């Protein structure tokens, strides 16, 4: 699943360093930059799979309240930045249209089944997706035809063992948790280790030198440039 000298570059919430995160503008910008992967976050709201990071609306939109308490009609009226609406997952996939692979991060409870159902309805191959989550119980509900990515934001005894318990093939670590030892352990287990979020060139170069398999960046062009360096 790797690209560019074995380093996968993932546009974090789209090219969110340039455009409002998790909007069609951000995903379109990532595609314009020829990024091979985009990452996005999904919540269930009023029966729809909505692409947004937070359960609370106040940080990334001009709305208030929790996603799960709001109607679809209300959510669609909100400004998610530069006049953009909160998109649905179906809208994002229509925009991407096989021009990049997609990492879907499950937020909240109950997203695994509707996300997998939608993906199976489309003419995409399972290899075009990675489904990830910090909620490993939810991630375990993902259809086995899709690759699972186990996210971690704190230290555990063994990332490899935790990932194996839910049949995840990719470990995704906070940059501050990432060491060569953890990367080597993942490789010894036949897994990849991806890292979030690296925006400064010095951090990207360090992770590349450590042997990370993937790097999430708000500025994916920076990661791709460094990945292509000899």
CATH number assigned to the domain comprising residue 143: 3.20.20.190
In a domain, residue 3? The reply is: no
Is the pTM above the cut of 0.95? yes
Instruction: Identify whether the C-beta of residue 40 lies closer than 8 Å to the C-beta of residue 14.
Output: yes
Q: How far apart are CA 15 and CA 38, in angstroms?
A: 8
In a domain, residue 41? The reply is: yes
Please say if the pLDDT value at position 6 is more than 90: no
Please say if the pLDDT value at position 127 is more than 70: yes
Taking only the tens place, the pLDDT of each residue in 73-119 is 999 999 999 999 999 999 999 999 999 999 999 998 899 999 999 99
CA-closest candidate to residue 42, choices 126, 106, 124: 106
Q: How far apart are CA 12 and CA 53, in angstroms?
A: 11
Please say if the pLDDT value at position 1 is more than 60: no
How many percent of the chain have pLDDT more than 90?
96
pLDDT at position 3, please? 43
175 pLDDT band (50/70/90 cuts)?
A: very high
Q: Which of 43, 53, 82, 136 is catalytic?
A: 53
Note down the domain range covering 132: 8-227
Active site residue 12: yes
Active site residue 203: no
Distances (CA, A) of 75 to 5, 30, 45, 110: 41, 24, 9, 19
Total structural domains within the chain: 1
In a domain, residue 97? The reply is: yes
In a domain, residue 139? The reply is: yes
In this prediction, residues 136-140 reach a mean pLDDT of 98
4 pLDDT band (50/70/90 cuts)?
A: very low
**3-state SS, one letter per residue, for 106-138:** ECCCCCHHHHHHHHHHCCCCHHHEEEEECCHHH
**What sign has the CA pseudo-torsion 173, 178, 181, 184?**
positive
In a domain, residue 2? The reply is: no
Length, in residues, of the chain: 230
Identify which has the larger pLDDT, 9 or 123.
9
In a domain, residue 124? The reply is: yes
Instruction: Identify whether the C-beta of residue 152 lies closer than 8 Å to the C-beta of residue 134.
Output: yes
In a domain, residue 171? The reply is: yes
pLDDT at position 74, please? 98
In a domain, residue 1? The reply is: no
Q: How far apart are CA 113 and CA 174, in angstroms?
A: 26
């Amino acid at each position: 699943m790797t690209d560019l000298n074995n380093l996968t570059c993932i546009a974090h919430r789209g090219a969110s360093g340039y455009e409002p995160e998790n909007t069609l503008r951000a995903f379109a910008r990532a595609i314009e930059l020829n990024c091979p992967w985009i990452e996005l976050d999904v919540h269930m709201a009023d029966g729809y799979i909505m692409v947004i990071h937070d359960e609370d609306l106040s940080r990334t939109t001009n709305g208030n309240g929790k996603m799960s308490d709001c109607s679809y009609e209300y959510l669609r009226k909100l400004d998610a930045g530069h006049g953009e609406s909160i998109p649905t997952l179906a809208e994002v996939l229509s925009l991407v249209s096989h021009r990049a692979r997609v990492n879907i991060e499950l937020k909240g409870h109950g997203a695994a089944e509707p996300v997998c159902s939608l993906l199976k309805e489309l003419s995409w191959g399972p290899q075009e997706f990675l489904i990830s989550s910090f909620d490993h119980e939810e991630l375990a509900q993902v259809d086995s035809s899709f690759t699972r990515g186990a996210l971690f934001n704190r230290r555990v005894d063994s990332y490899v063992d935790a990932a194996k318990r839910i049949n995840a093939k990719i470990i995704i670590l906070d940059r501050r948790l990432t060491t060569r030892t953890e990367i080597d352990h993942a490789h010894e287990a036949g897994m990849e280790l991806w890292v979030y979020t690296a925006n400064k060139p010095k951090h990207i170069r360090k992770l590349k030198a450590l042997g990370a398999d993937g790097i999430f960046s708000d500025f994916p062009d920076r990661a791709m440039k460094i990945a292509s360096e000899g």
